[in-house]
Chain A
Amino acid sequence: MASSLFSYLLLSLFLVCLGLVGVLIRRNLVIMLICIELILNGVTLNLLAINKFVTGGAAVGQVIAIFIIALAAAETTIALALIFLTFRHYKEIDSEKLNELKG
């Protein structure tokens, strides 16, 4: 089981679809950000499993995974600052109530 490529791919597919459900149906902005993190982790796991399967663990795939992790960190920083700002401005982090341009 640990050496079967399909189990890794199934786990990463599960993480991506679960994160997609969360982004679409949850209304709290922080929880939507958490779901985006799950999607990014699923994508990275998929990339690394395929890298091990095709090239036997070459360093190129690992370098690209490092780039994904760094970009995820940058994205989280900006998103958290925006959520904090939104909360301070509107006193609200419900995504369904933020659809008006109140200025």
Chain B
Amino acid sequence: MLNDVIFLIFWLVIAVFAVLAVFLQKPIYNAFAMAFSIFSIAGMYVFLGYEFLAALQVLVYVGAISVAIIFVIMLSPPVTVSPKKINPYKIFIGIVTSLALFILIFVLYYGKFLSEKINLNQPSQGVKEIGNLLAMPYAVPFEIISVILLVAIMGAIVLAKKEE
């Protein structure tokens, strides 16, 4: 019962802050709302029993990605996207596309998964199994991800460097 109440609070916090992250007008507020929403998604991972992923989510998303976005917003001189020229055609297309996707997938889920239960008492596999998988069967993808991250860092530095 208490579990359900806490779950509902997390659910609503994620949904409300995601809406704020999309529809607020100043980018810095959007960035903070996104950070809060993603922080609460880490709470969802704890509900599902993925403690390691929850810690990783907080470290990478809140600690690195949100800070990088806020950093870029603060480094830029103030710029205003003029709010007056709103294109109603574009807004119509966006809302219709997304609503169609929502209804389509919602109908699929509703028919299939409505009464399915997750066994939350059964513990998820922990850090040891993840380490075993990363060390041997998934070693090559792991190395490729490392190279991608290295190339991303170098690319970002090269792109953002001031020309002589």
Residues of A within 8 A of B129 (CB): 58-59
Please tell me the number of chain B residues within 8 Å of chain A, measured between CB atoms: 89
Residues of A within 8 A of B113 (CB): 5-6, 9
Residues of B within 8 A of A53 (CB): 116, 118
Known: A3-B119, A10-B109, A67-B141. A33 touches B69 (CB 8 A): yes
Q: State the CA gap A53–B68 with chains docked (Å).
A: 34
Contact between B114 and A6, CB atoms less than 8 A apart? yes
Q: State the CA gap A100–B53 with chains docked (Å).
A: 42
Contact between A22 and B109, CB atoms less than 8 A apart? no
Contact between A4 and B72, CB atoms less than 8 A apart? no
Contact between A80 and B41, CB atoms less than 8 A apart? no
> Looking at chain A, what size class is its interface with the partner chain?
35 or more
Contact bitstring A54-84, B, C-beta under 8 A = 1, else 0: 0011111011011101111111111011111
Known: A38-B22, A57-B123, A57-B125. A24 touches B116 (CB 8 A): no
Residues of B within 8 A of A75 (CB): 152
Q: State the CA gap A24–B94 with chains docked (Å).
A: 5
Residues of B within 8 A of A57 (CB): 48-50, 122-125
Contact between B18 and A38, CB atoms less than 8 A apart? yes
Known: A48-B50, A71-B148, A80-B69. A92 touches B60 (CB 8 A): no
Contact between A11 and B90, CB atoms less than 8 A apart? no
Contact between A6 and B50, CB atoms less than 8 A apart? no
Contact between A18 and B18, CB atoms less than 8 A apart? yes
Contact between A85 and B120, CB atoms less than 8 A apart? no
B100-158 with Cβ < 8 A to chain A? 101-102, 105-106, 109-110, 113-120, 122-126, 129-130, 132-134, 138, 141, 145, 148-149, 151-153, 155-157
**19 A-B residue contacts at CB 8 Å?**
A1-B7, A7-B7, A7-B11, A8-B118, A11-B15, A19-B18, A30-B72, A56-B119, A56-B122, A57-B50, A58-B125, A59-B133, A62-B52, A62-B124, A73-B152, A74-B148, A78-B155, A80-B68, A83-B72
